[in-house]
Structures are given as structure tokens and as C-alpha cells.
Amino acid sequence: MNGTLIDGQDRPVVAVANRLPVHHGDNGWELSPGGLVTALRPVMATHPGAWVGWDGGTKGLPPTLPDSGVRLVPIGLSAAQVRNYYHGFANATLWPLLHNAIEKPRFEQAWWYAYRDVNTIFGERAAAALDDQPDAIAWVHDYQLMLVPQLIRERRGGQPTGFFLHVPWPSPGIFARLPWREQILTGLLGADVVAFHTDEYRGNFLRSCVRLLRDDDIEVRGDSVVLPDGRAVTTATAPISIDAAEFTQHAVEPETDNDIRLLAEQFRDRTLLLGVDRLDYTKGIIERLLAVEMLLERNPGLRTSISFLQIAVPSRDDVREYRQLRTTVEQHVGRINGLYTEPGSDVPVHYLYRGLSQQQLAAYYALADALLVTPLIDGMNLVCKEYVTVQNARGGSGVLLLSEFTGAADELPQAVHCNPFDVEGLSYRIEYALGLTADTRRAAIAAMAAHVRDYDVYRWVSDQLAEITKAATAVSRLSADRAASPCTAGGGGALCPGHWPAAAGRPQPGRAPGWRTPRR
Ligand code: ADQ
């Protein structure tokens, strides 16, 4: 392993993420939509290496990402693994748990076993891909793969490895409900850097380590977790962003102008309120619809002068809660239109249940007078960053309503912040936002767009890769120092891998020295 590089700019990246970012579309193999893919696409363009991920059951995948040299490393999963690891443990246990348990997480032993087994497969395939590219940085993503950092470390000691969590980390009290909590923490601490969107999530993680690994002789020192073998795991706050230049470009393309013309005709004489989300119960879509309903109830004049359009990408419809959500959303849309459509007038609520291209989304962003981003909890939320970028590129005076429970709220103080749990309050916040002057709104959009441009996804990537390389270099220096002056096991003050500190009186009977591997 090359321990002398101090930044990660020239090194290839082996990304390890649940899904490979391709699907077969109208024009052959295409990149898939979604927050993670949106974020990682530019990484792979600037740091070509490999992408290890589940093939989603698709056969005949291309050997590389479309239009790039990035090698695809597909992992096939059985139907039972998909059911138990993906729909079960990832999406019905971890997803709700990490989102503050706003839906009750389900705990099933069989799902945990599948999660552990599938993580082992990912760890092995990632290690093999890294064997082929020994200079690469391993970058593991998200809650589906939290055991993988430690599995990579066991197979390739000294491998620079980063982990990024795209969702929130809840308070220690909520995380502590997970029956397999120590194993998850141990898996993550195999990385050199564990990174989060906000200081709050990072603090929650550090406090979870203190609370749940107290008996394992770990110590939290500042932002780092120091393990019994002396290795320090750095934690970082790294708010993810978008490719702002690309969205700026979409905003002014001739195709977008054309789409805007058609949409402007469709929503003629109406103020357009927009929602754009994956159809997920964390996104606050129901609360948003109820707030719009209250707005229409309170202001009969608005029934013919505003339109609310919800665009929802189908998501996880193999999980019960997501199917129920779709039905509930559709019932609300039908009920509101049934109540508040005026004779001879268009319906006040429009609903699209489909994925759109970025360019098509840009046209909606450009036309919308307000974007309602109202998650009950959201790790970051990229949609609001896309909106302010497109609005600004077209000199727009749209207004962003942004839930205070998104990671993005920390970064975008100029938005009209709202509490989506307070539905009536939300309906008044919408009224307030629509009443702001065009100048005020334009200035807010410009300030937010400038922030998104300055802290775009490329900066996020390069900062993260530099951080991982720096942390891994510090660890390899520590190992080299120890090799030069070996500790006296059991007697010396210094720690070295495999030896417990004398003060801690380890090892104990029945317990292996050194940092534990995830329990099976
Ligand atoms: P997501 O929960 O998927 O991501 P988000 O950050 O909003 O949420 O990203 C959604 C992405 O999908 C956006 O880029 C958006 O343009 C795209 N999208 C939305 N609706 C679409 C549609 N109808 N058609 C096509 N594309 C659509 C997770 C976390 C977030 C975190 C991201 C990145 O839940 O909190 O911001 O990862 O870390």
C-alpha cells in the first residue's frame, strides 16, 4: 500500500455501493436516477476505477459504465437474499431505524443473517477488485453495507478505506434498539474515515460508540474513535452536493426551453407549487398534501389560481410500507381534487408517478414558483439544491420551502424553513413564502445557488478522497513507527496491533486480542 500520498486526487476509486448505477432504458444501457448515483457519477468520471454493486437481477450488463472506463463488478443475489437483505434488513430495519424510527423498524434474525452474508460477498468482491488496483482508495457507501469496511480491512490490512453514510445517524437511544448494534458499529470502524452529512449525525454516531462500545476499550478523542489496537478512525462532516454546472447547463438547453413552453401552457394563469421526491415515507409527501389541502380550504380563491404538482419516482414497492404510501398518496390527491376542483377549471393537484431525466426535471424546476421540500427527516436532500441552481441560472424568483429536518437546512439558511409535522403551520408557511417580494426571493435563490456552486459535488469528492488518504497515511505511519520500535507486549505503554494495553489488562480469556471482527 502506498502510504506516502497525501491527497487522493490521482488515485483510482473502487466504489462499493448497493446497486450498480445502470439500467436498460429506451436508449440501451443508461445511468440510473437517485441521490447516490447522482452524487457518484462525477467521481467515477474523474477517478476511474471500479464500481462494485448488486446487478439488480439484470443480465447482460456492460463491462464498463456507459461512456466511461469504469469497470462494473456485478454481484448476483438470490431471491431469498434480495428479500431478506435488501427489502428486509436494509429497507425495513435499518432505513426506518436510521430515520429516527419514524416508521417502526422490524427486527428479524433471518434478515440480519442475510445482511451479514451479503455484506461478506460484497467485502470479498471489493477486496478482489482492490487486488487488481492496489493504488485505489476503497469508498464504501451507505447503510446497506455497514459491515464492509471491516471485511475489507481483514482481507487487505492497510487498505485506505472510507465510508459515507447518505442517511441520518439517529440519537444513541434510538440506534441502541438494534439487536445487532455492536456488530454494525464494529463493521463501520474498519474504515479510516466514517463520514456524515451533518455535525448532528456525526455527534450521534460518536455518542453511540461511547454508549455501546464502552466495554470494548474504545475511546472517543475529539472527532476520532481510538480502537484498542491504537488505530484511530476519523469521523468527518461532509455535506454532499450536486453537479451544479451540469444543472446550470440543463437550465438553459433548447430542449428545456421547449419543455418550459409546454408546461407554461399547461399551468397558464396558475402559481405552480412543486414537490419532487422518491416515493418514501420520510419525504413528508402526505403532510405536504394535507398542508396544500388546508391552504385551499382556507382560501377558496386559490382553488383556481394555484396548482400543486407532485412528481414521485417509484421506489421500493416490494416493501409493504411503500405500497401503502403510494395508495395513501393517491387517495389524498383524489380527495383534494374531488373537494376543490371548481367547475370548468383544472384540478388543483397534479401527480406524476414516474422517473424523469435531469433535463426534464430542470424544466419543472424552472417553471415552479415554489418548491416544497418537506421531509420528516432526510440525510441531505439534493432536490432543493437542484432547484435553486436551475432557478438562479434562469434569473428566477422561485421560493424554496425547506424542512428543518433535512441536512440541507443547515447549509441553506436563506430558505423558508418549516416544520412539516405542524401541518397547519406548514400551510401558513406556504402562504408566507408566496407573499414574499420577487426581489427578496431572487436574492435568497442567488445566495443559495452561490453556496451550492462553491460547494458542489466535485469539491465534496476531492475533500473526501483527501481526507481518506490523509487518515490512512497517519495510520500507516503509526504502524511503521511501531515496527521500528516494537512494544513490549503486556509491559510497554505503547499500543500495537494485536496487543492490548497493559493498563487495560487484556487479553481476557476467551477473547481474541485486537479489534473484534463482526460477530456472526
Ligand atoms: P434520496 O432519498 O434518493 O437520497 P435526494 O437527495 O432527494 O433523495 O435525491 C433524489 C435524487 O433523485 C435527486 O437527484 C433527484 O433529482 C432525483 N429524482 C427525484 N425525483 C425524480 C424523478 N421523478 N425522476 C428522476 N429523478 C428524480 C439519499 C438520501 C438523501 C441524500 C442522498 C445523497 O436519502 O438524504 O441527499 O441520498 O446522499
Ligand 1 atom closest to the Cα of residue 352 is: 23
Cis bond leading into 518, ω under 30°?
Answer: no
Identify the residue whose cell numbers are 435488501. 86
Round to whole Å and give the CA distance between 29 and 66: 7
Q: Is residue 198 pLDDT above 80, yes or no?
A: yes
Round to whole Å and give the CA distance between 369 and 467: 39
Ligand 1 centroid to Cα of residue 346, in Å, is: 29
Calculate mean pLDDT across residues 481-495.
46
Q: Note the pLDDT of residue 482.
A: 67
Round to whole Å and give the CA distance between 244 and 358: 12
Residue pLDDT, tens place only, 78-121 = 999 999 999 999 999 999 999 999 999 999 999 999 999 999 99
Average pLDDT over the chain, rounded to an integer = 89
Q: Whole-model pTM above 0.85?
A: yes
Mean pLDDT is lowest, of 53-67, 155-169, 359-373, 475-489, for 475-489
Distances (CA, A) of 386 to 36, 137, 248, 291, 373: 14, 29, 9, 23, 12
More confident position, 259 or 214: 259
Q: Note the pLDDT of residue 22.
A: 85
More confident position, 513 or 146: 146
Calculate mean pLDDT across residues 2-11.
51
Round to whole Å and give the CA distance between 399 and 402: 10
Q: Note the pLDDT of residue 11.
A: 86
Cell of 200: 448532528
Mean pLDDT is lowest, of 249-258, 268-277, 446-455, 472-481, for 472-481
Q: Note the pLDDT of residue 146.
A: 98
Residues framing ligand 1 (Cβ under 6 A): 33-36, 38-39, 166-167, 240, 276, 278, 311, 313, 355-356, 361, 378-383, 386
Probe target for ligand 1 pocket from 145, 198, 382, with the most ligand atoms within 8 Å of CB: 382
The protein residue whose alpha carbon is closest to atom 14 in ligand 1 is 35
Mean pLDDT is lowest, of 142-151, 292-301, 353-362, 434-443, for 353-362
Residue pLDDT, tens place only, 376-429 = 999 999 999 999 999 999 999 999 999 999 999 999 999 999 999 999 999 999
Amino acid at 434: L
Q: Is residue 44 pLDDT above 80, yes or no?
A: no
Ligand 1 centroid to Cα of residue 313, in Å, is: 9
Q: Note the pLDDT of residue 69.
A: 79
Q: Is residue 13 pLDDT above 80, yes or no?
A: yes
Distances (CA, A) of 468 to 192, 493, 499: 6, 28, 25
Ligand 1 atom closest to the Cα of residue 407 is: 35
20 and 72 Cβ atoms separated by less than 8 Å:
yes
Calculate mean pLDDT across residues 161-189.
98
Nearest alpha carbon to residue 56 among 75, 38, 73: 75
The protein residue whose alpha carbon is closest to atom 1 in ligand 1 is 35
Confidence of residue 187 (pLDDT cuts 50, 70, 90): very high
Confidence of residue 441 (pLDDT cuts 50, 70, 90): very high
